[in-house]
Structures are given as structure tokens and as C-alpha cells.
Amino acid sequence: MDRFADRRFGEFASELARDGLEWDAFHYRNELLFSPVFQRVSPPLIRWIADYRGRILSREIMSDLFARHFSCDIIGNGWRSMLDRHDWKALADAAKRSPRPDPVPVRMRTLAGETRSGIVRMSLVVEPDEAPLWYGTIEDIDERYDCDRRALADALAESRQHYRWSVELSPQVPWTASVSGEIEEVGPRWQELTGMAPARARGRGWIDSLHPDDVDRTLAIWTEKLHSGDPVDVDYRLRLSDGGYRWMRSRASARRDAKGRIVRWYGTLEDVHAQKLAQRELADSEERFRLAVQSARLGIWDFDAVAGTRTWSREFRTMLGLSDTEPATSELALRLVHPDDRSRLAGMLDAVANGRMPPHFEATLRVHRADTGALRWIKSVGWSSFSDSGKPLRVIVTFQDVTEERNSEERIRWAATHDPMTHMPNRALWQTTLEEMTEQARRTGESFGLILVDIDDLKRTNDTLGHDAGDALLCGFAQRFASCAPADAMIGRLGGDEFGMIAAAFDNAELAVELTEKMLAKVVRDVDRWLRAGHDPGRVAINASAADFMQHDFADYVLAHLARCTIPPQQFEIEVTETVFLGRGAEQVERALHRLSSAGVRIALDDFGTGYASLSHLKQYPVDVLKIDRSFISNIEQDAGDAVIVDAIVKLGSSLGMEVVAEGVETVGQVEMLIARGCTIGQGYLMGRPRPWAAVRSRAA
């Protein structure tokens, strides 16, 4: 069979030569090793059954090609006409030697008088109670050769086309190298690309086509792979036929024999110039982005949604006061965020984990640095990328420390809404708050308290003692005013010497009572000090609100203060407005006023004429003094109606035995008209302004 195989492939080679086929040795070698054509060859066949004397009892021709050469019927002894006598004897001898003899070669005569080679295979089958039978086949070997040749020719033609389409038309350049690394073969596109003939590229000639800067690196990698046997993958620039250079990628693997020894290297050369330029542009873009991030002092949080990995840049870690080894976890981020902002961050992290992040988002959070604990304001801006199916691919968030900007904004905002001297809210903020609370009170039906005060003679203080003294007075008053205010009150400096307080959510009655108690304590203390020093201040009046009388022991509370300092009740006066007579608790007010009056404390009805009190209240309550409201006094010289009202009040008070006092007297003309109408007592800036006791004593002296 070995000699037959040699002859057969020899005929195959000579046939190719006769056909004038040109074949590259590289392709012959691979085609002979791997072509499946040899497994597709199938010979013509006759199946037959004969008795023990050699007469054929039945036969079946399995191939139409067999009938093309032979027409005789082989039934019985007819088969002998096909064979030489020498072959008869060979078959008989084989049958005698063994029930399963080796195949017997025979020569068969054709219709055309030619002789064709064949092989007879047979086996004796013996069944119980039956005559033994021979089962056999006849193969036409020449026909098998013909089929083989045709199949090989077709396969070679197909292979040649395959080669043209897969190699010649492929953008890649195939190549092979010896065990030592010498190039043996290169594909046809090599010369098209480089202008170098394949013969010149063999051995180490291909190196001349490399860019000078890539030679050492490429050879170093090639040498290392020749020793290790690992696959080769290297990029380098190749000089083209026009003198320019393009990036190429060379890859190769070693083919080994049964013992694992390298037989040859097989590789390809691929044009990757476009990819290289794209990579370079991407690298340049990333470098520009990195420099921009550094110059802008930005931190980066990068989340790969596909791999599930988080990456924090070095700048971001520095911003948070973290080391490079600290793991980038959601738990760490939540731990550093201010408690009031923690729920917002948790919601954002949950959205990232569940793929619900919007394409763009922004947030500003407060963060405590891990190293110092300092509170910093961090602004984050994020972008999300998604696949065509809508699945999140990547989330990138930039972080910027905006603490200084935030503080600057706060300082600017504070300066726009606060008085720089007293640090109180200014008129603009105070007025805005007042308007908002007024609107809220109108909607809800709730109420709030409002106090307006001013500092008298501030200009005189500035003129006599200097503006520094005036500023000190304003700051001192502001501190005391703020100390008296409830925690939820809105206080402010409304102007040069004007201050205001809005008692937003607290009880008005409680505030009024608290103010009365503080005022009473200080007034009693001052009067006691003056009396002990030998100075009689005369009668001192304090205001009492309706809320004060709601205290069951108000009268006793006042009298107890006077008794504790041994101050005669006759030196005190309680001023009330007409509103204390109205509403629920009127009986309580009446009892308290009678208790104070019987003890010697004078009762004055303030702002008379502006309220809703009935004249019967003047009989019901122990009123000693009627105080005409300043709104009637200020226009008494110009408004005849105000003059008539003042005249009526003076006559009413005199008739009831009450002292009448005019409030807000500021001009000499007002004094003359009041005296002409019988009002001889007044108070106002014309007679004097509020001032410390020392100034009053000095002027009196």
C-alpha cells in the first residue's frame, strides 16, 4: 500500500505538471495536509454470493460506472470470462487457505479489450443445517483512481479560487517563518503595500521596511517570542511604496509537531492605521480632559455599570481627605456626607444601582473630610450613557469643592439683608418677613405681635460725643433688644435709630406679660435707688396690657414689688388703653384696677378717643387721668375738628373730676391752645425727651 500511495501521488504530481498548473509550494503543503477530498473518494462495487464450488448465486452491481466497462453476466461461472486463468487459480487457492482470505488482486477484461485492475474480497459464512456460502465484493481499482483524480482536480480548482478570494483579495498579508525566525513566504499584497519584492522580504529583508524608531522594539519582541514560543502580537509602522508609513499589526503562532517542538511560524500582517489614529486621538482627548480636570480642581467618580466597578480619582480622594488605598464604597461615601444630606445621596446611589439615573444630573452636598472633619460644600455634576436597549453602561460624576464660593455667596447674601453694625436683619429683610407673615395671618386667621421702638437723641449723642459713641449706643441697645426677644421672634434695625420686633409664633399675651414684668422690676429698682439717694422723681407711670390683667394676682404682684422696696403707691401710675375694658375678663380688670386704686396707685386711660370704649367705662372703672391721644394734638392748630374734640375731652374729664393730660405736645402754639381750653398738663418733646436720671438731675440742679 505504501508503494501504491507513492505511485498515486506521483501520478497526481505529474498530472498537475502536464496540466501546466502553477502552484505555490506554501499552498500545496497546506492543501495536501488539510484538504478533505481524500475522504470523499468512493470506488464502484459489485456485491455477490457464491456456493462452496464457486458458482455465483446472486449479485448486485452497486455502481453504474462498473456496467459502463463490463457487459457479461457473472452469475454461475460467468465470472470466469472476465478473469485470466491465473486469477481463477489465485481465488481458489485463497478460498482453500482460509474462510476469510486476504483481498485478492485480479485483472478484468473490458468491452474495449482493455485490462482493468480489481480487488476481490470474500468471506465464508456457515449457518446450521445449511450449505456454506461465500459472500464477496469486486472493486474496480482503476475506476477508483479515476474518481480520485477527478475529485482532486475539482478540489484543486476550488482551492485555487478559495486562495484567490481568501488570500489575494484579503486586506491581510499572510507570512511564514522558520524556527529561527527567518521569513520564508509572504502573501502577494506585501509587494503592493511596500513595493518590495517577496524575495527581498525573505530572511531578514523585511526589517528594511520598518520605521527606524520601531525596529529595535519589534525585533526585541520577535526574539523573545522565538525563545518562549508564545504567540506574537506587535504593532509597528511599515514604509509604503509611496514613501509614507502606516501602522500595521503583526500576529503569529507557532505550529508544533507531536513532541511539541516548533515546526514553523504562521502569521498575518494587518493594517491598523485607522485604529491607531483613533487611539491616539482618544489618548490626546483623555490627556486634555485630565489637564482640564486638574486645572479646574475636579474630582472624578466613574461607575462601570457593566462590570459593576467604581473608581475614585486621586483629586476626588484628596478632596475628601482619603488615602489612595481606601476602598471606593457607597458605605464610605454615606458616612462622610452630612446627616441632613445623607438621604439625598442614598437616593442617588440607589438610582445608580437600579439603572434609573437620568442622562444628566446635578447636586450639592455637605461633606465632612475624613482626615480633619472639616465641613465642605461639594458640587456634583453627572452624566449617564446607555446602550441601544436602554441599559446603563457608564456613569461619570465630576466633583468640585465650592465651599469658598458658597461662603462668599452667603456673605454677599448676608450683607444684602443685614445691618453691618448691629448684625441685625435690615429693613429690607424685616419688611419682607412682615409682609409674608401678614399674608399668612390673613389666610390662616392667626395673629402675631409687632413692636416698634426708636432711640431718642441719637443725633445729639453723635454731635456731642462723636459717632463712635453713637455706634456703641446702637450696638448696646441692639444686644439688649435681642436679649429680650423670644427665640422665634424676628428683630431688625429699620433705620438710623429705629428697631422692630415681630413676635411670629409665640403667644402675644405671654410676651406682653413678660415685658411688663421686666419693665416693672427695673422701674421699681430705679425709683428705690433715687429715693434712697434723696431724689424724688415724682409720679412714674408704666403701661399694662390686657394680658397682664388676665393674671389673677396682677394687682397684688405690683403692690408686692412696691412694698418690697418701701415705695409709696402714690408715686406709681398704671396706664391702660381702652382695649382692656373690652372682651372677656372685664370683671377681672375691674377688680384689679379697684385694688390698685384703693392702695393709692393712680389709673390713667391712655390714647383716649381712639378706641371703642363706652363713656360708661369712665364711671365703672376707677380712672384718675384721661390722656388725649397725640393724633388729636398734632393737628389742633390746623384742624378745627381736632380742636373741638380736645375741648370736649377736657370738659368731660373736668366734669368727672379727672386729670386731663395732652400727649405729643411739640409746639408752643399747641400749648397756647390747650391752656386756652383748660388743659394745663401735657407731655411731649417740647417739654423734654426721655433721658437717663443723671441728666435729669443735672438739669434740675
686 in the same domain as 548:
yes
Percent above pLDDT 90 for the chain: 35
Domain contains 123: yes
392 in the same domain as 360:
yes
Domain contains 5: no
d(CA 550, CA 509): 9
pLDDT of residue 144: 66
The parent domain of residue 350 ranges over 296-408
Assigned C-alpha cell, 2: 505504501
Cα–Cα separations (whole angstroms), residue 145 to 4, 117, 153, 251: 11, 10, 12, 41
Following DSSP, what letter does each residue of 550-580 receive, concatenated?
Answer: TSTTHHHHHHHHHHHTT--GGGEEEEE-GGG
Domain contains 512: yes
Mean pLDDT, to the nearest integer, of 23-50?
Answer: 47
H/E segment holding residue 503 = strand 498-503
Which among 59, 63, 285, 44 is positioned nearest to 146, based on CA atoms? Answer: 44
465 in the same domain as 527:
no
181 in the same domain as 128:
no
- Helix/strand/coil for 50: strand
Q: Which range (163-167, 307-311, 519-523, 631-635) has the least confidence?
A: 163-167
pLDDT at 82 over 90: no
pLDDT of residue 300: 84
pLDDT at 36 over 50: no
Last-in-domain residue among 149, 181, 210? 149
Phi, psi of 373 (to 5 degrees): 80, 0
225 in the same domain as 79:
no
Mean pLDDT, to the nearest integer, of 321-350?
Answer: 87
Question: Band of the pLDDT at 33, cuts 50, 70, 90?
Answer: very low
Please answer whether residues 112 and 97 qualify as being in contact, where contact means their C-beta atoms are separated by less than 8 angstroms. Answer: no
Q: What is the largest CA-CA distance in the chain?
A: 180
pLDDT of residue 15: 40
Considering its fold, how many domains does the chain have in total?
A: 5
Q: Which range (13-17, 54-58, 318-322) has the least confidence?
A: 13-17
Domain contains 283: no
Q: Which range (123-132, 256-265, 351-360, 366-375) has the least confidence?
A: 351-360
Question: Band of the pLDDT at 425, cuts 50, 70, 90?
Answer: very high
pLDDT tens-digit series, residues 427-474:
999 999 999 888 888 888 777 888 899 888 888 888 999 999 999 999
Mean pLDDT, to the nearest integer, of 128-144?
Answer: 82
More confident residue, 210 or 298: 210
pLDDT of residue 117: 84
575: which strand partners?
Answer: 543, 604
271 in the same domain as 253:
yes
pLDDT of residue 552: 65
pLDDT of residue 59: 80
526 in the same domain as 464:
no
pLDDT of residue 47: 81
689 in the same domain as 562:
yes
pLDDT tens-digit series, residues 180-216:
999 999 988 899 899 999 999 999 999 999 999 999 9
d(CA 13, CA 378): 81
Q: Which range (28-32, 133-137, 181-185, 598-602) has the least confidence?
A: 28-32
Mean pLDDT of the chain: 83
d(CA 183, CA 156): 26
Mean pLDDT, to the nearest integer, of 138-148?
Answer: 72
Question: Band of the pLDDT at 162, cuts 50, 70, 90?
Answer: low
pLDDT tens-digit series, residues 306-320:
888 888 888 888 889
Question: Band of the pLDDT at 166, cuts 50, 70, 90?
Answer: low
Question: Band of the pLDDT at 137, cuts 50, 70, 90?
Answer: confident
469 in the same domain as 448:
yes
pLDDT of residue 646: 92
Domain contains 400: yes
Q: Which residue has the cell 487457505?
A: 97
Domain contains 22: no
Mean pLDDT, to the nearest integer, of 483-508?
Answer: 83
263 in the same domain as 116:
no
Q: Chain-centre distance of CA 242, in angstroms?
A: 51
600 in the same domain as 473:
no
pLDDT of residue 294: 67
d(CA 245, CA 240): 6
| β-strand pairing of 245-256 with 392-401 | unpaired
d(CA 15, CA 156): 12
Q: Which residue has the cell 396690657?
A: 545
pLDDT at 599 over 70: yes
Q: Identify the CATH number of the domain in which residue 252 sits.
A: 3.30.450.20
Percent above pLDDT 70 for the chain: 86
Which of 289-303, 476-490, 606-620, 660-674 shows the highest mean pLDDT? Answer: 660-674
Cα–Cα separations (whole angstroms), residue 99 to 123, 126, 134, 154: 6, 10, 9, 41
Mean pLDDT, to the nearest integer, of 16-28?
Answer: 36
Question: Band of the pLDDT at 42, cuts 50, 70, 90?
Answer: very low
522 in the same domain as 639:
yes
Mean pLDDT, to the nearest integer, of 121-132?
Answer: 86
Following DSSP, what letter does each residue of 60-113 receive, concatenated?
Answer: EE--HHHHHH--S--TBTGGGGGB-HHHHHHHHHHHHH-SSPPPEEEEEE-TTS
Which among 679, 680, 684 is positioned nearest to 667, based on CA atoms? Answer: 684
Question: Band of the pLDDT at 167, cuts 50, 70, 90?
Answer: low
pLDDT of residue 681: 94
d(CA 689, CA 680): 19
